[in-house]
Amino acid sequence: MMMGGGLILTLLVLVVVVWAIIKVFPDWQDRVGLNRREDSRREDSAEETLRQRFARGEIDAEEYEERHRVLREEREESPAPPEE
């Protein structure tokens, strides 16, 4: 009876540790090379930076919309990366 409880507790601790690591390092797929869409990641990063600057009040709504439009246009103009 004691062995079953210990096994369940061990598995529970392992799940919590893995979950915590994923939460602490949300970009882990990029770090280990599992995310093969570098261009997409770069564009997402640019859009995320823009959103953060707008949220902090560094840029106003008009500047945000203009820069967001430019990012969307650049994404539409660039060719899609070849799929492997």
Residues 6+ apart with CB under 8 A from 6: none
Provide the residue ranges of all domains of the chain, joining segments of one domain with +: 1-33, 36-84
Q: What is the mean pLDDT of residues 51-63?
A: 92
Q: In this predicted model, what pLDDT tens digit does every residue of 58-67 receive, in sequence order?
A: 999 999 999 9
Report the distance separating Cα 64 and Cα 6, nearest Å. Answer: 54
pLDDT recorded at residue 1: 47
Q: In this predicted model, what pLDDT tens digit does every residue of 12-36 receive, in sequence order?
A: 999 999 888 878 877 766 666 665 5
Write down the residue that tokens 């106003």 correspond to: 60
Whether 30 and 41 have beta carbons less than 8 Å apart is answered as yes
